[in-house]
Chain A
Amino acid sequence: MAEQAEAGGGKAGSAQAGLAQAGLASRFLTAVQELYRRPASAIGSTIFVVFVLMALVGPFIAPYGSNEQIVADARQPPSLDHWFGTDNLGRDIFSRVVLGARDVLALAGVGTLAAVVLGTMVGLVSGYYGGWLDEIVMRFFDSLLSLPALLLALLLLGSLGPSRNSVLVVITVVYTPIVARVVRSVVLSVKTKEFVEAAQVQGERVWYILFREIFPSTLPALAVEGSLRFSYAIFLVASLGFLGVGVQPPSPDWGLMVKEGRANFTQTPWALYFPAGAIAVVVIGVNLVADTLKQILQVPSQLKR
């Protein structure tokens, strides 16, 4: 099996064969190796890892507290003392960006995870049973998808009231239909395959067929969709913060910081640039990873040979 994983070569096709054949642990390792083989995804993965580390050990890196005011240093441009400068209240922007990572990544991550779990369940069941159930579920999801994500989010927040939990609910509701559709489309193509029919003919129960026979085939698509959704969720959290309906002040939320920075743009432009840059960099990083995952995992079947 080790040989199989190593033989993964530079070609996407063989990499996928390697992934499908190795065990779980070595499959993960192969995926990481594969990510670091390409420059784009190596950069993306590094960015992602740096931000995750920032979220985990932020308080140890940040020189100041998120709401610590150094009144004497207010409105300072970037310097050796304050790497990213200070805002008009005298808060250290570098500290706020570092400490804000935890909030953004946690909200986007947990929200996406919930959407992926829920979407997978719905997609599996709806795709497998088909018929009226599928029709009703999918038309309902279509109607949700017909609204722009931000509009739907604003509608929901209007009734839930702005809070962290509401943001989580919003991400889940907005992204569940999208994940469900992706999973469903895989289920539709897999459920008529002979190995599924073989399980049916041996009298397997539905849950076994769904999770043991069909679910593994959805993993590649799910990994790609999940990582894409994650990057959009970061956007969404930031957008909601910027609009003032998401995370509330004085949290060091990046979206919120952009909003505040914008108000004082002429005096302290750096208060806008750095949080906005953080959003851009992390989203680009995750997107680069998602792109590469797509190349590695979703190869058309002709190339596999």
Chain B
Amino acid sequence: MASSENEPILQIEDLTVGYEQAGAWREAVRHVSLGIPPGQTCGLVGESGSGKTTLALATMRYLPEEGSVCDGEIWFRGENLLGLRSREMRKIWGSEMTMVPQDAQAALNPSVRLGEQVAELLRHKVGLMDSEARQRTLELFERVQLGDTERVRDSYPHQLSGGMLQRVLTAMAISTKPSLLVLDEPTSSLDVTTQAVMLDLFRGLIGGQQQTAVLYITHNLGVVAQIADRVAVMYAGDLVEDAPTGDLFRRPLHPYTRGLLDCVPRLGENKSEVDLRPIQGQIPSLEELPTGCIFQPRCPLAIDICEEYPPLYEAGSGRRSRCHRWEEIGHEEVSASQPVPEGVLVQGADVEEDVLDIEGLKVHFTEGRTLRDLVTGKSSRKVRAVDGVSFDVGRGRTVGLVGESGSGKTTVARAVVGLAERTEGSVKLFDVELPAGLKGRTSDTFCCLQIVFQNPAETLNPYLSVGQILRRPLQRLRDQTPGELDQAVEDLLEAVHLSGEYASRLPGQLSGGEKQRVAIARAFAPRPDLLIADEPVTSLDVSVQASILNLFNELQAEHAIGTLFISHDLAVVGYLADTVAVIYLGQLMEVSEADSVFDPPHHPYTEALLSSVPLIDPQGEQEEIRLEGEVPSPSEGISGCPFHTRCPRIIGDICVEEIPPWRDISGTDKRVFCHIPEEELREEQRRTFRFSE
């Protein structure tokens, strides 16, 4: 069926999707209308539970068994999909409508070579002969910039990295020249440098396929700013705003969009200059949706009229907003920003003493030998997870340790608290050398040194109540009498902004953010002098993330403790930390004070990181420095500078052969681990990113 130029390829009309849950019907997506014309990329943004994945699955008629479309129409190239039988849908799937999923490893068959998986698709969906299909497979691999195409063709999924698998899936998705391409968080599990390369690739491919409409689902505002032509924002099942990307980021017309934009730290912002404004309250569960506007309980602009469910107002120039007060917001008569929470105070940190001193820390693991190694007599391999890291944390200061996966940042944390035993080097707490493992540490040490983990789902024992969890460290490490305990637990909960009644709750009854708050309270219970936070906000939604970051700020200012904050997110680390350390393959590349992290000169790796972070600003400018290849395995043992295999500024054999020196950058507190002299770095590097306005 030929569709005319401007007619949307996909047109969703008033779509409502529900799930059956414990005998009741829950509407996970309500009254959504959305159209995507050919050649356009529509970004679908929302936090977890916003219904974005449900919407995408419903659009593809791929809902799980307990879900179904209750109301509405889905027009795909002039055909109503809801009227089609599953046999007809099967013809559309994988040819006219394709998808790149988030988890590449799970999406590919682990026991079939990648080339065969693609060729199979080409034979079935495109109708190519065997030899043609194999030839086309290689061409497709070339198009998605898979370097050694023949090796990829003959590989099994487990032999390649996540980024490469994602490319193979992309190749499959574009192989049939689809009319609709759905990208479901395709870069969310990738490192930021890989993500940047993938985004470039998507942009190139989408630009080359003018007849394709693209639906890009993500929770990452930066990604959507970089790739989408239009952005639709979902909140708790409602489409709250829909606008061209530039307009949306410059002047959002819905308070929720405003709230989202305000609670993410931008690259280059620091806590000393900018406050994060978390969205108050919580995303409502589907069982207890508020009446009227569903954002109203959390909205700073809520008035009487908001008791009525707002329609999706047409707001001119292709914009739509589901807010009664969009005109006032648009004319800047009212501010839709969330209030700055009370109690966030940032004090200038005065360094007097070091809480933690790490000197030449090395953690090497021995990989177990396989049966084959035993037979061939191969010796066991050493994994150099951390290979010579030195830094210190002063009282009242936050040191941010940033690195990609496999960089050894978590191992540093584990070595300090004693969960991983160091091989070499020293770790001193107040000038007292700590034992390598947990054995031999005194209860004073346990008291002084606490850690907050990454995964809220695992961090609390599901069988113990919050009160029991918090009471234990108070009793053991602070010798509180039973009489004081209840009050102390309540105080702790209050400090993390939870009410006292939470003491009787079990972890299963808490949300992710609340669990992380309890975990922070538990870490603060023994009144530590040093807190280690290992990616504490990574698995949280952005609005929750903001309030946890504020909490860290607040508690740290109040208790003047030292913090080692570990994250893969440069913007978050740059926001929270006083000192930023960049780690790559178990070694520090750069250590810098917060005020100079984002200004050149940088270590080439830092430079690449900075230019890879997707800016939350579609008009922002950014250098395009991309890292080639994969992060080498830490068991390889790389000579010279560990970054030389991927360094875009490599200057010659010296990088391969000699270990680089630590260079002090004049005029700052920055130190860079690189052979390139300071003057040269200064000359060649520019500021890697710049926001518009």
A interface list, Cβ under 8 A from B: 4, 7, 9-11, 14, 17, 20-21, 193-195, 197-198, 200-204, 212-213, 216-217
Contact = CB atoms under 8 A, between A and B. Distances in A.
Interface stretch (B201-209, B250-258, B456-464): B456-464
Interface of B: 21-23, 417-419, 438, 441, 443, 445-446, 449-451, 453-455, 458-464, 472-473, 476-477, 506, 508-509, 519, 522, 526
B22 A21 contact: no
Contact of A20 (B462, B476, B522): B462
A170 B454 CA distance: 47
A20 B22 contact: no
Nearest to B443: A203
5 contacts: A14-B22, A195-B459, A195-B461, A197-B453, A198-B522
Contacts of B464: 212, 216
A161 to B, nearest CB: 44
Contacts of A212: 464
A212 B458 CA distance: 16
A17 B441 CA distance: 37
A136 B446 CA distance: 33
Contact of B459 (A14, A194, A203): A194
The 7 A-B residue pairs with the shortest CB-CB distance, nearest first, are: A9-B22, A203-B446, A216-B463, A194-B453, A194-B458, A194-B459, A195-B461
A204 B526 CA distance: 13
Given A11-B22, A201-B419, A203-B446, A195 B460 contact: yes
Could you say which of B22, B476, B519, B526 has the most chain A C-beta atoms within 10 Å of its C-beta? B22
Contact of B458 (A21, A195, A202): A195
A20 B459 contact: no
Given A20-B508, A202-B476, 19 more contacts: A4-B509, A10-B23, A20-B506, A21-B506, A195-B461, A197-B419, A198-B453, A198-B459, A201-B417, A201-B438, A201-B449, A201-B450, A202-B450, A202-B473, A203-B446, A213-B461, A216-B461, A216-B462, A216-B464
Contacts, number: 69
A179 B472 CA distance: 30
A86 to B, nearest CB: 53
A198 to B, nearest CB: 7
B477 A203 contact: yes
A183 to B, nearest CB: 15
A194 B417 CA distance: 13
A194 B418 CA distance: 14
B451 A198 contact: yes
A17 B508 contact: yes
A152 to B, nearest CB: 30
Contacts of A195: 458-461
B508 A193 contact: no
Contacts of B455: 194
B74 to A, nearest CB: 26
A193 B458 contact: yes
Contacts of A9: 22-23
A193 B458 CA distance: 6
B537 to A, nearest CB: 15
A224 B23 CA distance: 27
B84 to A, nearest CB: 29
Contacts of B460: 195
The residue in A17, A203, A204, A216 that gathers the most chain B C-beta atoms within 10 A of its C-beta is A203
A200 B417 CA distance: 10
B458 A7 contact: no
A14 B509 CA distance: 12
Contacts of B438: 200-201, 203
Nearest to B445: A203
Which residue, of A14, A21, A201, A204, has the highest number of chain B Cβ atoms within 10 A?
A201
Contact of A200 (B419, B463, B472, B508): B419
A14 B454 CA distance: 26
Nearest to A22: B506
A231 to B, nearest CB: 27
Contacts of B509: 4, 21
Given A194-B458, A195-B458, A201 B508 contact: no
A217 B463 contact: yes
A21 B526 contact: no
Contact of B463 (A7, A11, A20): A20
Nearest to A196: B461
Contacts of A203: 438, 441, 443, 445-446, 476-477
Given A193-B458, A198-B459, A202-B526, A21 B473 contact: no
Contacts of B472: 202, 204
A10 to B, nearest CB: 6
A188 B106 CA distance: 24
A7 B24 CA distance: 11
Contacts of B453: 194, 197-198
Nearest to B523: A198
B616 to A, nearest CB: 29
Nearest to A7: B22
A210 B460 CA distance: 15
A20 to B, nearest CB: 5
A234 B408 CA distance: 54
